[in-house]
Amino acid sequence: MSKVIVPKGYKATLGLYDTQTAIGMLKRIFEERLCNVLNLKRVSAPLFVDPETGLNDDLNGIERPVRFDIKDTGKDAVVVHSLAKWKRMALGVYCFHEGEGLYTDMNAIRRDEEMDNLHSVYVDQWDWEKVITPEERTPERLQLCVERIYAALKRTEFLLSEQFPVLQPFLPDRIHFIHAEELRKQYPGLSPKEREERIACQFGAVFIRGIGGALGDGTIHDDRSPDYDDWSTEAEDGSVGLNGDIIVWNPVLQSAFEISSMGIRVDRAALEKQLWLKNAGDRKKLYFHSLLLEGKLPQTMGGGIGQSRLCMLLLQKCHIGEVQAGLWPDEVLTECEKAGVFLF
């Protein structure tokens, strides 16, 4: 069921024309900064893939892809959910070296998405992936990458505020790091989403690590597919998981706001373990999975950063439809129109 919240007294900070100008500026700045801090090169990426290859991502493991037939091939194709596995294979095909990476404009359709202020069925992301060494599969390497991405985000916020002074910076200078198990212990009586609200409100920006694996009470913070992020490997300090989410506090919505999910990707051992934990051993015979199990894919880390999400956040909008053209339920359009909020 779609739902929308328009904060009391909300009025768009920028008009429609300036909003479009600011979107273009934001995307140019952040894309350039992201490439610089992570050493990335742009590549073209598919909108749809062969479902038999295993290249599409199941995200939480239950989402249905959009499937259609192609007349000349006589086969079906599925629209991508994300490109986590495709990017890893592309790094090997294109012969990227250690320390180098790629990024692409990822466009996807997620038909089962519950539409609200932050979600639509259309997804646009900067999807990135880079080659690392086996020795870099550590929480410390992951944290360094998060800090670099956050620095690019802060720089983008600053340059936007120079061009549009009405957009006052609000992000904290530093991002806070916490493991999902530590967060659970800190707020044992709250749900995972409620914990995110508390920690994001407290620090303004946080990276929650270890999402997908079992916590101390047997629950999980959030579900993850078993075949791209490594959420099961134990670090030297005993913590589990080499992935996580970047979450900030959204001052317009007064709520936690996820802008990126990322992580170090599974190696052979982690893939075997996570497929077993998810009772998904049948995936081993798929093309991507067999390549990984045979040691034919590079070790990587990567993630996705929502383009419309970032525009919504930094342009201080209350609904993603203010920065992204899409289809919205009639009741949402009516509610927003009453509040003076224009959705594309």
- Gap between the Cα atoms of 3 and 103, Å rounded: 32
The residues, ordered by sequence, that sit 6+ positions from 60 with a Cβ below 8 Å of its Cβ are 222, 223, 224, 225
Q: Which of 141-145, 162-166, 249-253, 333-337 has the weakest average pLDDT? A: 333-337
82 labelled catalytic: no
pLDDT at 18 over 90: yes
pLDDT at 63 over 90: no
Q: Identify the band that residue 58 occupies on the pLDDT scale cut at 50, 70 and 90.
A: low
Higher pLDDT, 54 or 196: 196
- Gap between the Cα atoms of 275 and 327, Å rounded: 36
Q: What angle do CA 13, 18, 24 make, to 5 degrees?
A: 115
The one catalytic residue in 57, 181, 197, 230 is: 57
261 labelled catalytic: yes
pLDDT at 60 over 80: no
The one catalytic residue in 18, 148, 258, 283 is: 258
The whole-number pLDDT of residue 62 equals 66
Q: pLDDT (tens digit, 9 = 90+) per residue, 297-333?
A: 999 999 999 999 999 999 999 999 899 988 888 888 8
The whole-number pLDDT of residue 74 equals 87
Helices 139-163 & 307-314 angle (0-180, nearest 10): 50
The model scores a pTM over 0.85:
yes
The one catalytic residue in 120, 125, 232, 316 is: 125
The structural domain count of the chain equals 1
Beta bridge partners of 306: 125
Higher pLDDT, 341 or 162: 162
- Gap between the Cα atoms of 173 and 132, Å rounded: 27
The whole-number pLDDT of residue 7 equals 86
Task: Name the residue range of residue 52's domain.
Answer: 16-338
Phi, psi dihedrals of residue 46, rounded to the nearest 5° = -75, 150
293: domain CATH number? 3.30.930.10
Residue 95 is assigned to a structural domain of this protein: yes
- Average pLDDT on 54-59 reads 68
Q: pLDDT (tens digit, 9 = 90+) per residue, 271-280?
A: 999 999 999 8
The one catalytic residue in 33, 88, 110, 195 is: 110
186 labelled catalytic: no
The whole-number pLDDT of residue 43 equals 95
Q: Where are the alpha helices (DSSP H) in the chain?
A: 16-38, 84-93, 139-163, 180-186, 192-203, 268-277, 287-293, 307-314, 330-338
Q: DSSP character for 140?
A: H
Residue 344 is assigned to a structural domain of this protein: no
Burial 211-234 (b: 16+ CB within 10 A, else e): bbbebeeeebbbebbbbbbbbbbe
pLDDT winner (highest mean) among 31-35, 78-82, 119-123, 325-329: 31-35
125 labelled catalytic: yes
Q: What is the mean pLDDT of the chain?
A: 92
The whole-number pLDDT of residue 2 equals 59
The whole-number pLDDT of residue 272 equals 95
The whole-number pLDDT of residue 42 equals 95
Residue 282 is assigned to a structural domain of this protein: yes
Higher pLDDT, 108 or 140: 140
Q: What percent of the chain has a predicted confidence (pLDDT) above 90?
A: 68
Q: Exposed, middle or buried, 301 (CB in 10 Å: 0-12/13-18/19+)? A: buried
DSSP SS3 for 203: helix
The one catalytic residue in 261, 274, 299, 324 is: 261
- Gap between the Cα atoms of 256 and 244, Å rounded: 15
pLDDT at 1 over 80: no
Structure token pair of residue 332: 């949402």
The one catalytic residue in 31, 196, 227, 245 is: 245
Residue type, 135: E
pLDDT winner (highest mean) among 9-13, 36-40, 75-79, 317-321: 36-40
Residue 9 is assigned to a structural domain of this protein: no
Q: Which of 9, 11, 116, 122 is nearest to 331 (CA)?
A: 116
Residue 240 is assigned to a structural domain of this protein: yes
Q: pLDDT (tens digit, 9 = 90+) per residue, 125-140?
A: 999 999 999 999 999 9
pLDDT at 91 over 90: yes
Residue 170 is assigned to a structural domain of this protein: yes
Residue 11 is assigned to a structural domain of this protein: no
Q: Identify the band that residue 264 occupies on the pLDDT scale cut at 50, 70 and 90.
A: very high
Contact 49, 86 (CB under 8 A): yes
Q: DSSP character for 86?
A: H
The whole-number pLDDT of residue 171 equals 98
The whole-number pLDDT of residue 302 equals 96
Q: Which of 302, 332, 330, 338 is nearest to 320 (CA)?
A: 332
- Average pLDDT on 99-125 reads 88
pLDDT at 59 over 70: no
Residue 280 is assigned to a structural domain of this protein: yes
- Gap between the Cα atoms of 39 and 210, Å rounded: 25
